[in-house]
Chain A
Amino acid sequence: MSEMSKIVRSISNLLLPFILIYGFYIILHGHLTPGGGFQGGAVVASGLVMVLVAYGSERFASWVKEKHLSVLESIGALGFISLAFLGLSTAFFYNFLAGKGGLFGDIPPEGSNPGALNTAGTLPLMNLAVGLKVIAGLASIVLVMGLASHYFKQGGENDT
Chain B
Amino acid sequence: MIHNIPYLAVVALVAIGFWAMIFRKNLIKVIIGIAIIESGVNFFLVALGYRSGAYAPIYTHAPSGQMVLPVPQALTLTSIVIGVAVLALMLSLAVQIYKKQGTLDTRKGVLKK
Contact = CB atoms under 8 A, between A and B. Distances in A.
Interface in B9-43: 24-26, 29
Given A145-B95, A148-B95, A159 B59 contact: no
A65 to B, nearest CB: 20
A157 to B, nearest CB: 5
Interface residues of B, number: 25
Contacts of B58: 32-34
Contacts of B26: 159-160
Interface string B71-89: 0000001000100100010
Contacts of A159: 25-26, 103-105
B104 A112 contact: no
A101 to B, nearest CB: 20
Interface in A94-117: 108, 111-115
B99 interface: yes
Contacts of B64: 112
Interface of A: 32-34, 38, 108, 111-115, 138, 141, 145, 148, 151-152, 156-157, 159-160
